Amino acid sequence: MRDVKVDVKRLAHGADLALPAYQTAEAAGLDLAAAVPADAPLVLAPLGRALVPTGLVIALPSGYEAQVRPRSGLAVKHGITVLNAPGTIDADYRGEVKVPLINLGAEPFEIRRGERIAQLVVAPVVQARLVEVSEVTDTARGSGGFGSTGRS
């Protein structure tokens, strides 16, 4: 397993929360915990959304991004997902990592302090060097898409 150093800082409102951790040896995502106040859990009503704090600031190395992805268990059991999935953390972002959650389930969902609400996947990035042309190369697919190869 390759790894890359990522600096992480815990903000005051997350200082007592454990750092994100990979839950298994080959896990791709670091689980992110909700840094909501212990005495004020966040309640997401059906179709309700919230920008959930993690209490974390990260500094990714140049050439990497971090993706904020849903946890499948919360999605399947409760309809909780990341509204902008996959969220993008840029390598030059130094603000708090936050998770825009939405409740697509039928019941209100309570998010307690320390609950693992999403996962962070660090990935390499390439930036495109755009070269404007008057004609693009032809291919067998051409402009076919959106189900052009059969049922979708």
Ligand X SMILES: O=c1ccn([C@H]2C[C@H](O)[C@@H](COP(=O)(O)OP(=O)(O)OP(=O)(O)O)O2)c(=O)[nH]1
User: Could you tell me the two tokens for 132?
Assistant: 């404007």
CB atoms within 10 A of CB 64: 15
111 binds ligand X, rule: CB under 6 A: no
Closest CB to ligand X: residue number: 87
CA-based end-to-end distance of the chain = 35
Task: Give the residue with the Cβ less far from ligand X, 64 or 112.
Answer: 64
Residue numbers 24-83 binding ligand X by CB under 6 A: 68
Task: Give the residue with the Cβ less far from ligand X, 29 or 87.
Answer: 87
8 binds ligand X, rule: CB under 6 A: no
* Candidate residues 98, 101, 102, 122; the one interacting with ligand X per rule CB under 6 A: 98
Indicate the annotated binding residues: 71-73, 84, 88-90
Binding region for ligand X (CB under 6 A) out of 1-9, 35-43, 98-106, 133-141: 98-106
Q: Give the Cα separation of 38 and 88 in Å (integer).
A: 27
- Which amino acid appears at position 9 of this protein? K
**3 state SS of 13:** helix
The nearest distance, CB 100 to ligand X, in angstroms, is 6
Residue 94 backbone zone (phi > 0: left; psi -120 to 50: alpha; other: beta): alpha
User: Could you tell me the two tokens for 139?
Assistant: 């291919």
The residues that touch ligand X, with contacts defined as CB under 6 A, are: 68, 84, 87-90, 93, 97-100
